[in-house]
Chain A
Amino acid sequence: MTLVLHFGNNKVSLTAGSRRKGGNRMLTLFSKTKELEAQTEEFCDKVSEGALAFRIGLFSYLDGDRDAFAEKQRHMCEIESRADDLRRQIQRRLYLETLLPESRGDVLELLEYTDEVLNACESAMWQFAIEAPDFSSDVAAEFKKLVETVVETVESLVSALRAFFHGQQSSDHTHKVIFFESEADKINRRVLSMIFDGDGDLSYKNQLRHFVLHIDNIADIAENVADKLAIFALKRAI
């Protein structure tokens, strides 16, 4: 639409299309930002969901409910694959739309490392499915505590990530990650002692040890991400 204005003998025409284009560009910038925000939020949701699925799945396994475990394992695979998709989409958009030029590398690194937490959870569940280890009831009870603490570590990491993305104090959450990780280490040692103090041959004990270390490793990865996040948050504050 063209609007023609008359000033004395002068005629000035305004074309609505051209005005809308500039306005649209601004709107597009903010709507793109909103989409990206939503994707990042969903990524955090997936990591959190993954941790919950991991806990429910392993608890079911330790309680002997293999069907529920298999169902949660499938769920875990879906979550992991969706999180991978989201990470790739965010990565692509950050580069293509040259967003966050200063901290793009940091953000992508954070997402990649966080994705590794999910990968580790998924791979642990696969190992349970393939090797189907047997746990005595007392070891299983301690093992549940380990899983619980590892999941708390991941949950705190997700809270720290959300705080970082929302411009809030992530240190309120990163110190919890560190705390839960050291708790996981303590439980890890306790479970290992129980395993090696108990009956059974060495190969069986070694197999269980492998599972304990694998689960504990998830908390270690989460702690590494939290350390990186603390540095990135400091960098952004300068």
Chain B
Amino acid sequence: MDIAVIVFLSSGLFLGWSLGANDAANVFGTAVGTRMVKFSTAAFICSGFVILGAVVSGAGAAHTLGKLGAVNAIGGSFVAAFSAALTVYGMTRAGLPVSTSQAIVGAIIGWNLFSGFPTDSASLLKIVGTWVACPLLAGVIGILLFKLTTAVVAWAKLHIYRLDAYTRLGLILAGAFGSYSLGANNIANVMGVFVPANPFSSFSLGDFGNLTAVQQLFLLGAVAIAVGVFTYSKRVMLTVGSGLLPLSPVAAWVVVVAHSVVLFLFSSQGLEHFLASAGLPTIPLVPVSSSQAVVGAVIGIGLLKGGRGIKWGVLVNIASGWVTTPLISCLVCFVALFFFQNVFNQQVYKDASYLVTQVELAEIERRGVATNKLTRLADARFDSVREFRNELQSRMSPTEHEESVILEVARIDPILISNIKLWHLDAEPLSDEQRSAMWKIVGRKFIHRWMVDEALAEASDAWKSLPSTKANKVLNRELRRQREIIYDVFRIEEPRP
């Protein structure tokens, strides 16, 4: 691998390290702080399960972050991750509440503002909504679980020593589950911005399947988290264990489980698939703050006990963190991108080109956006997203939906379905039918992504999107992921004018 790539990835590793140092404390803090579990045991279990969670289930939450803004140059990914890490570090030093998730979202928006790419407000709303929902949900789960646990403990009438032994075992199991959920949910924060500019390629593990490029990236990030856990989390764990509300070990167990369940809910593709297939509303897969989940659960238990001893200031701090953290991170990222591009002369984003001819106008019209104000643009080409968006603004002041349709249809992304690349394409991500459909369009060149989609859909039903229903949501997303693979593999570089 190129040395430059390693240097660029280093900021993600820094972010991973700080996540490991801080957030592992949420999982095992109470257990280690109350001396129920030894630090070495906690660190070992935490590292192992963070890595497992990141590699096995990390993709779900990363997808939403990718939709918010696809940082498409590794220099930009470096700056975004670095800005988020700097914000987390600085705010922690200043004693302000901070969450890695909020910092990285701010940084991505900063990148969008700098590069001129639009921010998907639906994704942003979904993410911000989960920030509010996360502590609330953790609180509710904490209350229910606490009531259930105290009832079971009262019913079981366990000897004080046996209860201690079970609690110890429970804390270890809950910690393992929490670490898995933390890895699955928060790896997107650490490595999500590097996904579109991923320097790895997938490789085979023989009979054990494939390790995809994204999984390798997540593995690297998870190792950084694990290093953070081993090198720096002990101090934080001891602070969390003794500094938080005085909780009995059983209550501490409830807090860890509530936190882990919330993180799991917001990252499990399996659960999403299950809910979708049952026709139920799905839970958005979004990276959420593990610290806020813990605080939510503790406050829930506090409320159950009559609300005495709850530090209401903590709630105000959390709410203020929803605003201040992304703002600071966004600002830091914007300024850092400016310096990185102009002082260090590095590419921080790849600009996009757009073409509007009768073909594109017809497609835009077909997608339900009126093009009468765009007809005079026909045969125009724009080599900057900012320039194209300004042109659109001046001509028709499009709504966000209209703009996103036009940008998607007009974006030039030359793709050539070459014989050799198709021959070497990994077998894993595509079905046999999809692969044979690919052979039907071999040798064809497309100027836009949607043209590839059309050609593939014509070649086989296996490439057709299903009607947009709750039950089809997961299948359609999988289809989009497969199409993304095709774009990435068969993309050809066109010399920029």
A residues within 8 Å of B by Cβ?
7-10, 26, 29-30, 33, 36-37, 40, 98-103, 107, 164-168, 235-238
Contact = CB atoms under 8 A, between A and B. Distances in A.
Interface of B: 34-36, 153-154, 156-165, 168-169, 206-207, 246-249, 251, 305
Contact of A29 (B156, B160, B165): B165
B161 A37 contact: yes
A33 B162 contact: yes
A101 B165 CA distance: 11
Contacts of B248: 102, 235-238
B160 A103 contact: yes
B34 A9 contact: no
Contacts of A167: 153-154, 156-160, 163
Contacts of B163: 167
Nearest to A165: B160
Counting from the closest, the 9 A-B pairs by CB-CB distance are A101-B35, A33-B165, A33-B161, A8-B207, A167-B157, A37-B159, A36-B161, A100-B164, A165-B160
Contacts of B161: 33, 36-37, 40, 99-100, 165
25 contacts: A8-B207, A9-B206, A10-B207, A26-B169, A29-B165, A29-B169, A33-B162, A36-B161, A37-B162, A40-B161, A100-B160, A100-B164, A102-B34, A102-B36, A102-B248, A165-B160, A166-B157, A166-B158, A167-B154, A167-B156, A167-B160, A235-B248, A237-B248, A238-B247, A238-B305
Q: Which of A8, A10, A166 has the most CB of B within 10 A?
A: A166
Nearest to A100: B164
> Max chain B CB contacts within 10 Å: which of A40, A101, A103, A164?
A101
Given A9-B206, A165-B161, 12 more contacts: A7-B207, A10-B207, A29-B165, A30-B165, A37-B162, A98-B35, A101-B36, A102-B249, A166-B157, A167-B153, A167-B160, A237-B248
B213 to A, nearest CB: 24
B35 A10 contact: no
Given A7-B207, A102-B248, A165 B159 contact: yes
Contacts of A26: 169
A156 B459 CA distance: 85
A158 to B, nearest CB: 16
A164 B247 CA distance: 19
Contacts of B158: 166-167
B251 A238 contact: yes
A165 to B, nearest CB: 5
Nearest to B160: A165
Residue among B34, B162, B207, B251 with max Cβ neighbours from chain A (10 Å): B162
